[in-house]
Structure 1
Amino acid sequence: MTDIKAQIKEFRIGQKIRGLRQQKRLTLQELSDLTTLSKPLLSQIENEQVVPPLATLLKIAKGLKVGIHFFFEDESNRQGYVMTKREALPEFETVQRPIINDVSRPYVYHSLAQGMRHKHMEPFLVEFDTCSWDERLFFKHEGDEEFLYIVAGELDLHYNNEVIRLRAGDSIYYDSSQPHGWVAVGEEKAKAVAVLYTKD
């Protein structure tokens, strides 16, 4: 089975970031300033040595002034739909959790609409690790909204000063420009379908 690194390479996310950055005549340092991400990290992402978590991709998208869907589009796809078969999804266990700001991200994600062009929503299947909350897991992205439906396990959403517990079957829609972060709680990992909506 292919893993998320193969997905990243298939859609040339690193190449797309570099190409768009160069097209906009931005240096790595300038993109670093726009995104608050380190120059070495951006270089590793562009060279596809690091799999960027969603929060990082969103920061890069904002810095480059594109929607997150830009990274998952296939311009050769002329169909009006894209279907993802269950057996096409990689096993979560094969995926390494990215480390950002010395903190391992407690989740991995798979795009559920890879290749679809010009979309405003980006759906993902996400698996969350059980771990202790760390303030460094907070992130936010201006102008976006998120919807999460819990498929299995339990999650704590840290949202501003609140902690919201969600169980399988629960869902939440929220403004993701506010500081937020997720951790699974209990004995099992949690899975959810997440949909990110990027306003034009």
Structure 2
Amino acid sequence: MSHTIQNELASLDLGNQIRKLRKKRGLTLQELSELTGLSKPNLSQIENNIVTPPVATLLKISSALGVQIGHFFQTTSLESNIVVVRREDRYGIARGPHISHIGYQYEPLAYPKVEKSMEPFIVRMEERDPDDMTFNNHRGEEFLFVLDGKLEFICGETTVTLKQGDSLYFDSGIPHGYRGIDGPATSLVVIYKPS
């Protein structure tokens, strides 16, 4: 991938995008907090790019602001029945120091198409202790297919260990979390969020 494309795609500036959209909608941080159920300090950190929002958090913010989550990943406006994203054009969210608070990096796989019912991602989960797992929930359903490594999935009272080739489908409204075991794990994750 050329540095120009990589820099353009990597510099999504999610925080600034969220702030601009919030102000365009005439919402205060407090009002966005009430709409999303997220704390004001957390939203402030996200808007100031101090932390990168996990996918579930970004879903809550996008719903409250009346846009699809894909709105935040678009680099150009492209609406088509067929969208191809070449391997060299993929990019990661939550690279570097920001990953530590959520424990994974995610790459949107269909970002040129904004209006869609499913959001596919490649998710790289860090190896971490069970006590350090981050739990999220959002309306909808989720499908996960392990491409590489081994991971632990916890959803409510259920704990499942998954390895390469295993898959999982679940109600994402229940708080859930993942962690790599014996090293990082890579998965294909598809999120369905009802309108």
Same fold (TM over 0.5): yes
TM normalised by structure 1 equals 0.81
Give the superposed CA RMSD: 2.9
Number of the residue aligned with 2:185:
190
Check whether the contact 2:57–2:136 (CA below 8 A) recurs between aligned residues: no
In the aligned structure 2, how far is the partner of 1:73 from the partner of 1:93?
Answer: 16
Matched, 1:168 2:164: yes
Check whether the contact 1:8–1:51 (CA below 8 A) recurs between aligned residues: no
Which residue, out of 126, 138, 142, partners 1:129? 126
Q: Deviations over 1:96-137 (max 9, x none)?
A: 3445xxxx2111101111121311111111101111113762
In structure 2, relative to structure 1, the CA distance for the partners of 1:106 and 1:161 (3 Å cut) is same
Number of the residue aligned with 2:105:
108
Check whether the contact 1:129–1:189 (CA below 8 A) recurs between aligned residues: yes
In the aligned structure 1, how far is the partner of 2:132 from the partner of 2:94?
Answer: 25
In the aligned structure 2, how far is the partner of 1:67 from the partner of 1:44?
Answer: 21
Report the 3-state secondary structure (helix = DSSP H, G, I; strand = E; otherwise coil) of the residue aligned with 1:194: strand
Check whether the contact 1:74–1:115 (CA below 8 A) recurs between aligned residues: yes
Q: Deviations over 1:25-46 (max 9, x none)?
A: 2101211232233334323433
Deviation at 1:179, TM superposition (A): 1.3
Structure 1: gaps spanning 5 or more residues:
none
Number of the residue aligned with 1:177:
173
Report the 3-state secondary structure (helix = DSSP H, G, I; strand = E; otherwise coil) of the residue aligned with 2:97: coil
Number of the residue aligned with 1:33:
34
In the aligned structure 1, how far is the partner of 2:25 from the partner of 2:109?
Answer: 29
Structure 2: gaps spanning 5 or more residues:
none
How do residues 82-161 of structure 1 correspond to structure 2 at under 5 angstroms?
82-90=83-91, 95-98=96-99, 104-134=101-131, 137-142=134-139, 144-161=140-157
Calculate percent identity across the aligned residue pairs.
Answer: 39
Number of the residue aligned with 1:7:
9
Alignment-mate amino acid for residue 76 of structure 1: S
Deviation at 1:78, TM superposition (A): 4.0
Aligned length: 193
Check whether the contact 1:69–1:121 (CA below 8 A) recurs between aligned residues: no
Query: After alignment, is 188-197 or 27-36 more displaced?
Result: 27-36
Check whether the contact 1:74–1:116 (CA below 8 A) recurs between aligned residues: no
